[in-house]
């Protein structure tokens, strides 16, 4: 009988080992993509005036409108396509604080709504954004906290209806900024300048209803430069 139990225990241990191996974390995976900007950060000779922290909308901006970035050499982009607010928060120290900018422009939330990294409540998305703001302000970095851009559909997640969630998250972000009463924290309202009647980006500004094309970026550039002018003049 003891031999039978021993064989059963060994079999169970073997099954657990196989299961652990199958589900083991790949410790070589750069989950928050620290490597993406590591060399660029190290190569900065002087502290930037403004760091733009974000996702694909920030990531694609220099490629879509290079003349804007050429005209503002003190601006650096630290967007990573597909990232959620959780991933941005994890790399915030490396890609923002350690660069010692005067200002950080934070644009986050749309990929959380798309559940790119799993389901998350809007309250927890706001919490991640608030944590980035608090880290920045603790390090004497001014914050331009942006509305999520309008989006009424996800090509990669068609079952999600983002428009009402975007409106709700933006209302939460705006209320947070207003409640803080911090002259070094402002709300940047891209949404109102860009949304169509469905809460998406119109065809004149986007090909997919979510990501801006050059015409969309022109509006964003006008909004952000106007917003930052008092801090950078």
CATH number at residue 85: 3.40.50.1110
Write down the pLDDT at residue 110. Answer: 97
Q: For 112-139, what is the mean pLDDT?
A: 97
Residue 41 lies in a domain: no
In a domain, 180, yes or no: yes
Residue 120 located in a structural domain: yes
**Predicted local distance difference test score (pLDDT) of residue 194:** 97
* pLDDT given for residue 27 in this prediction: 57
Rounded to an integer, the average pLDDT of 3-23 is 43
Residue 155 has what pLDDT?
A: 86
Model pLDDT, residue 95: 98
Q: Mean per-residue pLDDT for 208-229?
A: 96
Range 65-92 average pLDDT: 97
What are the CB-based long-range contacts (under 8 Å, 24+) for 117-121?
Answer: 117/84, 117/86, 117/87, 120/84, 120/86
123 within some domain: yes
Q: Kindly state the average pLDDT of the residues 201-216.
A: 95
Count structural domains, the chain: 1
Q: How far is CA 225 from the centre of its chain?
A: 20
In the predicted structure, residue 24 carries a pLDDT above the cut 70: no
User: Does residue 226 surpass a pLDDT of 50?
Assistant: yes
Query: Is residue 26 in a domain?
Result: no
SS3 state of residue 148: coil
pLDDT at 10 over 70: no
pLDDT for 233 equals: 80
Mean pLDDT of all residues in 33-54: 97
Is 9's pLDDT higher than 50? no
Out of 22-36, 42-56, 107-121, pick the least confident.
Answer: 22-36
Using alpha carbons, list the distances in angstroms from residue 120 to 53, 86, 117: 20, 10, 8
Q: Kindly report the CA angle at 104 between 98 and 105, in degrees rounded to 5?
A: 145
**pLDDT (tens digit, 9 = 90+) per residue, 134-148?**
999 999 999 999 999
CB 97 within 8 A of CB 135: yes
Range of the domain at 74: 46-232
Asked whether residue 5 is assigned to any structural domain, the reply reads no
Residue 6 falls within a domain, yes or no? no
Q: Residue 84: which of 32, 149, 154 has the closest Cα?
A: 32
pTM: 0.88
Please check whether residue 18 lies inside any domain of the structure.
Answer: no
């Amino acid at each position: 009988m003891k031999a039978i139990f021993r064989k059963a225990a060994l079999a169970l241990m073997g099954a657990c080992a196989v299961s652990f191996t199958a589900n083991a974390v790949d410790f070589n995976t750069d989950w928050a993509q620290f490597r993406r900007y590591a060399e660029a950060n190290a190569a900065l000779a002087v502290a930037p005036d403004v760091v733009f922290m974000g996702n694909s909308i920030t990531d694609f901006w220099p490629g879509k409108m290079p003349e804007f970035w050429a005209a503002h050499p003190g601006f650096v982009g630290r967007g990573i396509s597909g990232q959620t607010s959780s991933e941005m928060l994890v790399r915030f120290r490396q890609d923002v604080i350690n660069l010692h900018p005067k200002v950080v422009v934070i644009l986050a939330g749309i990929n959380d709504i798309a559940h790119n990294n799993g389901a998350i409540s809007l309250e927890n998305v706001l919490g991640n954004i608030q944590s980035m703001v608090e880290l920045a302000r603790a390090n004497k970095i001014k914050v331009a906290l942006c509305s999520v851009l309008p989006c009424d559909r996800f090509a990669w997640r068609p079952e999600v209806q983002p428009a009402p969630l975007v409106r709700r998250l933006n209302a939460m972000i705006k209320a947070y900024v207003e409640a803080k009463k911090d002259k070094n924290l402002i709300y940047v309202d891209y949404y109102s300048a860009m949304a169509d009647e469905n809460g998406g980006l119109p065809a004149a500004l986007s090909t997919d209803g979510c990501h801006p094309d050059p015409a969309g970026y022109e509006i964003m550039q006008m909004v952000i430069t106007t917003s930052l002018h008092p801090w950078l003049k």
